[in-house]
A and B are shown apart, each in its own frame.
Chain A
Amino acid sequence: MNIAIVGATGNVGRKTLEVLEKKELPFDNLYLVASSKSEGQKIIFKGKDHEVLNLENFDFSKVKIAFFAAGKKISEKFAEKAAKHCLVIDNSSFFRMDPDVPLIVPQVNSSHLDQIKKNIIANPNCSTAQLVIACKPLHDLFVIKRIVVSTYQSVSGGGKAPMDELIEQTKLVLDGKNVKSKNFTKQIAFNAIPHIDVFADDGYTKEELKMSKETKKNFR
């Protein structure tokens, strides 16, 4: 069995490699796939060099499982094509609310995995995943009626660029210099921003709606 990581050079892709280094997942070959920008780059996995391949012409029939960790647009464009040849485990939000795509936290609802219709399985939003894993054992015992949650999210959810910017902004503030935000709507260093993702008409943001809808789907 072979596996592929799409978006292998990004934040989540590199983290997936780290997890695979530690786990004993039985696979033969690992293919690292990314945009043409990263093609040819070398990444070391378990002491061996792996060359990054171009997503545009990657043959998904070579693998049994493909992890997609390259964001919504890439999943929208490539996941269904890939799913004709292999099982796709998608980190993006694109398929999460698709009724034919199970939304899985294994400890919570692995029973939904026998309903794979499109060869695609979705990973919940990061805030949803940690909420449902803690709520599941309590829901089983006491039946949850209502949850009110406030999240305090780190910048890494936005990728590597916001992580670097947090450090840069912090240095600028400490040096008494002016800060101009690039990846944030306001200064992030020494501050708190009450907003993630785009606003909907009712004043909520998509991040908030995702959490509410995904939690219900996960517990269904």
Chain B
Amino acid sequence: MPISVSHSESVNIQFEKSFSLEKVRSALDNFEGCKVIDERIDGGYSTPLEAEGKDETFISRIREDKTIKNGLNLWIVSDNLLRGAALNAVEIAETLIKNNFYGK
């Protein structure tokens, strides 16, 4: 895409179990590294430009896929140089240090 930074993903998920949108929303918003931006109004969603330079992965356009059983649609946006690369690598290092390198 003619976009400098941040990748976007249109995601369709089918679950084994049934779900509620409220539980999806709160599970995503409470998960470390994720943030829900989903207002169902004009502009109530995240775009690549807004995700640039941010550590969080943003989840928008949360809605049920009524054409399949237990189906969900999402729009996921994140700074590809951070979560997809530099930030993730540094967080791996932090985890190693916190756990004394797992005895290595």
Residues of A within 8 A of B (CB): 1, 3, 11-12, 15-16, 18-20, 23, 25-26, 64-65, 67, 69, 87, 89, 91, 104-107, 110, 113-114, 116, 119, 121, 123-127, 129-131, 133-138, 140-157, 163, 166, 170, 188-193
A113-B96, A130-B80, A134-B57 provided; 14 other pairs, C-beta below 8 A?
A: A16-B85, A91-B89, A126-B81, A126-B83, A133-B57, A134-B59, A138-B15, A144-B15, A145-B15, A146-B14, A154-B4, A166-B4, A190-B2, A193-B1
Contact B15 A143 (CB under 8 A): yes
How far apart are the CA atoms of A16 and B91 in the complex, in Å? 11
Contact A126 B92 (CB under 8 A): no
B33 touches A (CB below 8 Å): yes
Given contacts A23-B90, A154-B80, contact A126 B96 (CB under 8 A): no
Q: How far is the CB of B22 from chain A (nearest CB, A)?
A: 12
Closest to B70 in A: A142
- Picked from A12, A25, A131, the residue with its CB within 8 Å of the CB of B11 is A131
In the complex, chain B residues whose CB is within 8 Å of the CB of A65: 93, 96
How far apart are the CA atoms of A181 and B94 in the complex, in Å? 40
How far apart are the CA atoms of A69 and B80 in the complex, in Å? 14
- Picked from A18, A136, A157, the residue with its CB within 8 Å of the CB of B80 is A157
Q: Mark B52-90, 1 if CB is under 8 A from A, else 0.
A: 000001010000000000101010111011111111111
Residues of B within 8 A of A (CB): 1-19, 23-24, 27-28, 30-34, 48, 57, 59, 70, 72, 74, 76-78, 80-97, 99, 101-102, 104
Contact A154 B3 (CB under 8 A): yes
- Picked from A67, A136, A151, the residue with its CB within 8 Å of the CB of B89 is A67
Given contacts A25-B97, A149-B12, contact A19 B102 (CB under 8 A): no
Contact A89 B93 (CB under 8 A): yes
Closest to B27 in A: A137
Contact B93 A12 (CB under 8 A): no
Contact B102 A134 (CB under 8 A): no
In the complex, chain A residues whose CB is within 8 Å of the CB of B4: 154-156, 163, 166
Q: How far is the CB of A59 from chain B (nearest CB, A)?
A: 19
In the complex, chain B residues whose CB is within 8 Å of the CB of A130: 7, 9, 57, 76-78, 80, 83-84
How far apart are the CA atoms of A105 and B94 in the complex, in Å? 12
- Picked from A25, A119, A125, A138, the residue with its CB within 8 Å of the CB of B24 is A138
Contact B31 A133 (CB under 8 A): yes
Contact A144 B14 (CB under 8 A): yes
Contact A114 B102 (CB under 8 A): yes
How far apart are the CA atoms of A159 and B59 in the complex, in Å? 25
Q: How far is the CB of A140 from chain B (nearest CB, A)?
A: 8
How far apart are the CA atoms of A15 and B87 in the complex, in Å? 8
Contact A153 B11 (CB under 8 A): no
Chain A to chain B contacts (Cβ below 8 Å), 14 pairs: A16-B85, A16-B89, A67-B89, A89-B89, A89-B92, A104-B95, A113-B102, A131-B9, A134-B11, A135-B13, A138-B24, A152-B10, A156-B5, A170-B2
